[in-house]
Amino acid sequence: MFSFRWDEVINIHSKYKHKDYLKYYLIKMHTNECIVLPEQYNFICKISLMMLLSAFNGLYHGHYDIFVLITIVQFTSILYWSKPQYNWKRNVDMIASNATVLYHCVRAYGSENGILFYTFTSLGAFCYCLSWKYLYQNKYWHSTYLHSGVHIFFNMAMNTLYIGHIVSICNNEIIIYFIDRIPLLYNNNYFGQCDVSYREPYLIDD
């Protein structure tokens, strides 16, 4: 059976003093501690509820695929932030969140408010990186507010995208690029009855 020893963590960290993450990860993982304090992860958990507004805004504008994705992320976010630890709940939440962000980035390409979407998303990514920096320095409230900024900026990005015209999946240039290069998808048309040769009028160069 694995036995955790503090002296092992200290010895390992002494060899990699520049890697704050190693020390932080080992301590939190092997002591089964929460990543932040209860008042801090409860704060983030409440902030994450704003995704419900984005989900129903997407549903209102007829983006059913987006509604399903955000609903899943909302569930995994609450599941994880109710008691954030280094376990399977964190992995599931990160996979769901990253997949949703990536999907939105693809759908935003060529859309009416795509530039605003990418701007807000970039600000959210910046907050995310800074939040980890402060977390390793044990500045938990700084990290908490910055991670909340991730939720705020990405929800702003999503809602900005929804209120404008979003290029359909069949006419999204990124998706078409991959369809054209994967014969199986092109021949069997897994995206429904998509005419991949069609381009929406405003996307055609004069």
- Chain center to CA of 144: 16
Residues 143 and 198 placed together within one structural domain of the fold: no
Residues 74 and 136 placed together within one structural domain of the fold: yes
Residues 151 and 177 placed together within one structural domain of the fold: no
Residue 26 included in any domain: no
**In which domain, by residue range, is 116 found?**
34-162
DSSP state of 202: G
Measure the CA–CA gap between 203 and 171, rounded to whole angstroms. Answer: 9
pLDDT-derived band at 10 (thresholds 50, 70, 90) equals: very low
CA angle 94/105/52 to nearest 5° reads 60
pTM for this entry:
0.74
Residues 87 and 151 placed together within one structural domain of the fold: yes
Q: What is the Cβ-side half-sphere exposure of residue 95, based on CA atoms within 13 angstroms?
A: 6
Structure tokens at 135: 């977390």
pLDDT tens for each residue of 106-136:
999 999 999 999 999 999 999 999 998 998 8
Measure the CA–CA gap between 172 and 107, rounded to whole angstroms. Answer: 7
